[in-house]
Chains A and B, each alone.
Chain A
């Protein structure tokens, strides 16, 4: 769709010097209102062309209003157009409001934007000035609505036809190519090697973190921060937490704009928003801030992690002999038993022995070396430091009581649980009869590194009313059947997978040290999906989410479970 009307403003305004003609075509959008004028309406006033045939049933529309000096030139450029000299009171009713305003401006008549069309026409009809004599209106031939509609549909038909033609043309080409194809030439092989080597150049994979969103980005795309003033938008209260070293330290946010430590460049996505002066949607400011992991929370063994986590999950991974982990069960997580462990961390030696029991299966009793390989190793001071730090800084640990008495009862470094030994006939730790058909490994486990173990769920309530000896009975009965090697107590109701933003910070306090930046927060609703957020965490610049043993797998498994739940929920509906 294109009309002269869009340009009539400029044409009118510039008419005293030259008529600007712009041939830009406009794509898309609706058509603007065009007042169609029959040849009879203007036939009495036509000045050019001289041989104008009034009886022809042509339709015209207003194009421009121009000085007599330029009339010939404009007429040449617009084929079939006519020049008309009519007084303003006759011309005005033929124009649209937009053209009226432009014409009135040229005649130095003041028209307010609020004036109605009738009032404007009235004002112009009573106007007279030298310009009225020297200016001409140019009308171009137009088409009736019906003609336009017919043309449009014809054009549309042609487009589909040409597309079909392309399609049918492409198909025979496919069959005409020779089979078998020619051998790869030396040139082609060279091209392939060259292209691959180019992909393997430092430039195409070297990456670093963006200082606002913390995402790993290709280094060549990162930009320097040009304007430090713009960073002022990145101050948002409550998004961060200043580390408290001792309890008397004041509670405050981090000073200054929220950025990552050690990164000094911006990724293109953040840069676009920052240039506009708004907060980048993925920046840490938008409650994605996690904070640096303090040294006290690094390098914890499995048992130590059990001690400090608020919410624990089952043991759903197992290491295979190559050292990799694979998923053997769906994930479920429970708060640690409320009565014993939750309020007071760490649990006392007696309590712990009741909720944690370790059973060896094998053909010989465990040796000292075996103990060292166990993930049950607990270093007392490590736990103490971690808990103290979390109480000060993690949002979910504020109401925690640390029992120093209980801690003192632990050995400085050792296994704070009762170790049972059960002789098994087979060499592997898997019972032949319960092995799955798809399970081809002889043994679950590893020869090096932390040893795998399986968690069998007995709920906290059951534990509360049982003595250790009574506990051993169901445990051993279970072992007779299945051969699982560890039981850890937990709360009787599992934690919700849905709308639980503090779930991950409670489960992985060593990944979310300040309890901030949880998944599925209220502020992120309908802004970022859970899967997208997990992807962001995995691409966090210091890679501590990537290197965690459980996080990537559990995050993925949660997606699986939720998808399955959604499917069954819809079915049940």
Chain B
């Protein structure tokens, strides 16, 4: 009875006052359970502890940004390399089924790949421990938690705190207060960091460069795609899907010398 009413009130987020002995007993049981589960990785209590840490960070650093990262481990050549038994890296493309079975059979490789990508993201994109700022500005703190999604691949939820951030209330006040300079720069900033772009041209350009499939449809009868006839055969055969290959470094930055 007591437990029922307690759990109902707690799930509604109401305040519970421990006035009866029975409630105190239940709370001590909860505390004991926390004690047991606190060291177990992946337990509810360890999640609770992580939440507490995040709350502390929020109260210390202010409002966080929230980003999610989900590396595609069944497409990345690095993950395929970790999962495979070959010692030297081979840049060959494999069929999607081949890739899937390799990665599925080796969860350790998928985890290692995830770790590698996340750390390089934190280093380069967030600029932690690198000699340049992050893409969101100067970092002051970050807190990342790993979660598995439906198909049991890993993804990362990351809270990040930017240096010099002002409180949400202050932002609201300044937006409402007709501070046009602030409004403009805020919109510019948000648009700037929330954009998808390619360094080698617009999306349409990339699509034009991509060879069309020779055949259409997946059934028994394959129809020759008329668009593919207009291209030379060499164009279509040499093409490698860039999402399945290692990234190619861009040419050295010309601005660098000027900046120095």
Contact = CB atoms under 8 A, between A and B. Distances in A.
Contacts of A559: 41
Interface residues of B, number: 67
Interface in B88-113: 88-89, 100-101, 104-109
A32 B100 CA distance: 68
B189 A187 contact: no
Given A177-B164, A181-B189, A324-B104, A189 B85 contact: no
Interface string A166-185: 00000000111111111110
Given A187-B253, A187-B256, A192-B135, A179 B164 contact: yes
Contacts of A547: 105-106
A179 B185 CA distance: 9
A188 B151 contact: no
B124 A199 contact: yes
B249 A194 contact: yes
B100 A323 contact: yes
Contacts of B85: 542-543
Contact of B120 (A196, A322, A325, A553): A196
A189 B87 CA distance: 33
B250 A174 contact: no
Nearest to A187: B255
A183 B189 contact: yes
A324 B152 contact: yes
B40 interface: yes
B162 A181 contact: yes
A229 to B, nearest CB: 27
B36 interface: yes
A207 B109 CA distance: 13
Contact of B108 (A322, A323, A546): A546
B174 to A, nearest CB: 10
B124 A196 contact: yes
Contact of B250 (A193, A323, A543, A545): A193
A528 B137 CA distance: 42
Size category, A interface: 35 or more
Contacts of A208: 87
Contacts of A43: none
A568 B106 contact: no
B236 interface: no
B252 to A, nearest CB: 8
A182 B135 CA distance: 10
Contacts of A132: none
Most A CB within 10 A of own CB, among B38, B42, B137, B162 = B137
Contacts of A325: 107, 152
Interface in B182-201: 185-186, 188-190, 192-193, 199
A560 B164 contact: no
A538 interface: yes
A320 B150 contact: yes
A292 to B, nearest CB: 13
Interface string A546-573: 1100001100100110011011101100
B259 interface: yes
Contact of A176 (B39, B132, B133, B164): B164
A181 B39 contact: no
B166 interface: yes
B51 to A, nearest CB: 17
Contacts of B108: 538, 543, 545-546, 552
A195 B164 contact: no
A298 interface: no
B250 A190 contact: yes
Given A183-B189, A187-B253, A571 B39 contact: no
B81 interface: yes
A182 B137 contact: yes
Interface in B62-99: 78, 81-82, 85, 87-89
A106 B222 CA distance: 103
A205 B40 contact: no
B246 interface: yes
Given A181-B189, A183-B189, A567-B36, A552 B123 contact: no
Nearest to A177: B164
Nearest to B41: A560
A191 interface: yes
Contacts of A195: 120, 123-124, 130
Contacts of B165: 179
A381 interface: no
A546 B109 CA distance: 7
Most A CB within 10 A of own CB, among B38, B104, B188, B248 = B104
B153 interface: yes
B24 interface: no
B242 interface: no
B135 A324 contact: no
Given A191-B132, A206-B89, A560 B40 contact: yes
Nearest to B186: A180
Contact of A571 (B36, B100, B253): B36
A525 interface: no
26 contacts: A175-B164, A177-B163, A178-B164, A181-B163, A181-B164, A182-B137, A184-B133, A187-B259, A188-B135, A191-B130, A193-B249, A194-B250, A197-B250, A199-B120, A200-B120, A200-B247, A205-B82, A206-B89, A324-B151, A543-B106, A547-B106, A556-B41, A560-B40, A564-B36, A568-B36, A570-B35
Interface of A: 174-184, 186-200, 202, 205-208, 320-326, 538, 542-543, 545-547, 552-553, 556, 559-560, 563-564, 566-568, 570-571
Given A181-B189, A186-B255, A205-B78, 12 more contacts: A175-B164, A179-B162, A179-B166, A183-B193, A189-B199, A192-B135, A193-B249, A197-B247, A323-B100, A323-B104, A564-B40, A567-B37
